Structure 1
Amino acid sequence: MTEIDDMIAVLINTNEKSTEILKSICIASEVVLKEIAIYGLVMYSAVSDIYSEELQGISICYAEALEALEYGMMFDVNTVMSFNELGKQSETFEYTIEMEQKLINNIRSGDIDNTRNLLHEIFEQNISKNKIGLDMLKILVMDLLSTAIKAAGKEIAGRLIEDMQPARYIYSCKTIPEIEQCITRILFYVCEKCKENTKNRNESLCNDVMCFIQENYTNLSLSVVYISEKFELSSIYLSTVFSKCTGISILDYIHRCRVEKACELLRNTYKSSKEIASAVGYTDVNTFIRNFKKCKGITPGEYRRIKIQLNNSYV
């Protein structure tokens, strides 16, 4: 037994090479770890294969035990790691353009659940299947950070760097669970900020659309398509955003604006329903009456009579 670089190396001499001997060594090491854990201490342990090449075998055993130990520490596994249980670590990682674009789309839309799921898939593919090492994983995570910055845009990226110092944060991690938690926090941060920005942009867009409708309600051509062209957006996108922000469709909002203006004319003028329909942007009086009743629960004529009666009751 000797101490090497803050590690204790134990050389065990045996007359036979068998899996049973290795199992016995691992079991004995597990007992030591449990005893140490009682005192609140954390210790990692690893076991090499058995070699019979005399002194040359010692260096091989040390290299294998060290590799197994680093693997255990990398995964923060507080148990005995056997070199024979390790697979060969890959020197490349898998992170395709398609994966990156999908991740960018999820981040920009503020979709935390799908971002989490895709990130888990990337880690599962590269750690569990490809078995990349800690250094290669850090390179992968730096690529993921680059993706987050691309998705974030200049403003959010600046806030990310200022608030989290992500590169330093990543390289301070010592284990794979720490790295996975680190990049997850970074991506979630960007997701939340993108979601906030999207919400603010959408609210501003909806306010602009409502102002446009209020200013152009008399236009006979006013429609979802007409408004979409004015704002240079697809009608499907604009309709979806508007409905989410306001709880009603663009067409319903147009009808509401027209009906409210019609109510003013019904109260303050003696114009007929046909004249009022034309004045507020309807080409057909029946369409006007139908939408008026849908909004107010009564026809334009009934609305006028009620208002006249109310006015007379106060005279």
Structure 2
Amino acid sequence: MRGLLTSKFSLNRLFVKLMLSFVSVILILASFNLFSHLYLSKKVYQEMVRQNELGLAQTVEGYENHFRLTQNMILALTQSDTWTANLGMLSHLKENRRYDLPAEVKSDLSTLYTNPFLHIDNFILYFKQEDYVLEKEGLSSASDMFGKYYYSKEYPPDYWRTQTMNNQFLKVMPAANFTENTVHSSRSLGQLMPIMMKAIPYEDVYGIVMLNPQHMQDTYGDAGNNPFYILDKEGRLLFTTKEGDMQNPQLPEDGGGHERVGDEYYFYEKGKQTGFTYVRVTQAAVIAAEMRGMQILLAVLLGAAILISVLSSLFFSLRLNQPLQRLISALDRNLDSGVDKLSSVQEFAIIGERLSSILENNRYIQSDMAQKNSLIRQYAYTHRVKNIPLSSYLADVEEVRQPEQPYVSILFKVGFKSPPDELGQYTLLMWKLIQGLFTSNKNNCVALQPEQDQLLLLLFDPGPQSGILQALDTLKELLATEESLYLTIAVSPVYSGEIPFTDAYSNLSMLLKERRLNAETQVIVEPRASSSNAFHVKVTYGEELFNLLQSGKEDAVLAWLDRQLEQLQHKDAAAEDFRTFALGAVEQIGKTVMKLNLKHIEAKLHSSPPGKAFGDFHSVQQYRESLQELVQPVLAAVRSQLETRDPVISFALDYLDHHYGEDINLNLVADKLNLTPGYLSSIFKEKTNINFSEYLNNLRIERAKELLVNVDLRIQDIAAQVGYQNVNSFIRMFKRRYGLTPGEYRKRHAGGDAPFISSSHG
């Protein structure tokens, strides 16, 4: 059997069979390629023509869809009752002087000219009777608009004054070059295609849409330099990519096709939607050159394919035959030998190396999969703790289902006395230390990080709680000498398996708020008995602080703050109580700044809110220094303002503060002061650096913000209570000031932890 396999005849037979098989395939493919070449050479011309027709059809479809989309967008806009009413008011702007409406109409127009897919350069509303226009830059006269900003010799101002729409809704006009002419310069706006529309039902109001035909051509046209034309139903040229008129044959009225005239092919198609005729011109020499190029390419490819196939068949026959024979010979020689002897053969050595590499990769993959499974396990547990629905593939993970065995949860929160340079790395080392104390048996412990500064341990079958507290006391002793950080540790009782992880985490989060104000590591097992009697500053105290701030007396304000902080300290209040008190004080300071219109102080408060730092404070002195630093510039500004306070302004501000919920205006307040409205407006602006109406709106919105926390009040009732009879006006003004609607603000702030200090004053 061995002699038969290793004989020269056997080797040649395998080689011959491989070679003949390759050659047979080559002959079949060569015959097919030759037939294809002969057949395709006759079809090149038709294919070139078809490609041009398909290209034109795609271009026509793009243009038609674009014109239809533009018309539909304009129709949708004009069918709005608000739009129609606004146009009616603007068409008699000089009579009704509704100068607030252009901004609203401009906002509606912006949905068209800001849409990048519509290629609209501008949307101009032309009020023919009053001879002015409204466009994206605002109001201007028709003479300035069409004589300066959108000037074209084909479309002078008199052209638009004489235009009528009759029974048409849209009228597309030929594209022309437009320029913007100013006193010192002239800037080209490029080619624009005006589309005139009737602003139903007003006969003297027209919309003029300035389409950018070059952008449309770049989007829908072909990538070549072939001349392209668009003709309207009367054969008038609307747009062309080539200078001069089109020298074209007589095109049929319907359908599409192509005509050859001289050295040019005219491909044309009529749009079903618009009735426009689209024409693309291709040189006959281009098609002939492409046909010759394809024939040459097919011939070269055929010859190259045959040559490469023959050489490749010979090469692969040898490559397949020789190693196979060597492998058989090696197997035959080592049939009765040990495996170690096979490594001396190069082919088997390579195979051995490849197998070793495969095994090594397999071990790496298994290790990587184990690590990923651990991450997936932690990810799934985090979802359980935070009550986030699991994905379908995680819901089946057996380990993350609610266990039946008892467990204890421990929540660690890190705080820093003086944050180190590498905060993240420092925190990570702390978490590793904690896990090392509790994760000796990894199957009974899960470590999660629900927040950046928190670590949650779930200990299953934990034993008595005393053992856990003993380990935490050891950790507390280790951190006693730590100069940069401290921990707050909340420990749950031993829960049965029926208690959800979410409830355990929620209870621990509440326990964290029991921390007292110091820089020591604290272990909290249960709420303190005094927590139910936690110190809260009364509403009247908030009013007292507000009045003290308005008086500008620094000694009185600082003494008041010291008394409250000392009272909190005497009551052994939690750190959260100190933080809530400080936030309430900050709120009263902000209200004082807003009411007294201390612009520079208000800007500073918004740029760096002081409340962000309170969460890191760990001493009464930090709160005292922070609040003092905050109130001192405010009190200085208040004293300065009190020194220069005008009696007229004092009366006006006091009247607004007590009557903002009524229907009041500038004329009413001026009448009570026996002043003209114009004089009161100017002196109010001069003394307060803010307009009368803006101050009144800010005052009303600030009062509304306080009322929104009460979820029992309806938003429309709040609007009426602060002086807005129109709830839509109230919503618009509220969003302009705070960036949120009243409903959104209520969802964020109602029902949460309110500051200790609260007041009905400004």
TM-score by length of 2: 0.21
Structure of higher CA gyration radius: 2
Higher relative contact order (CA 8 A, sep 6+): 1
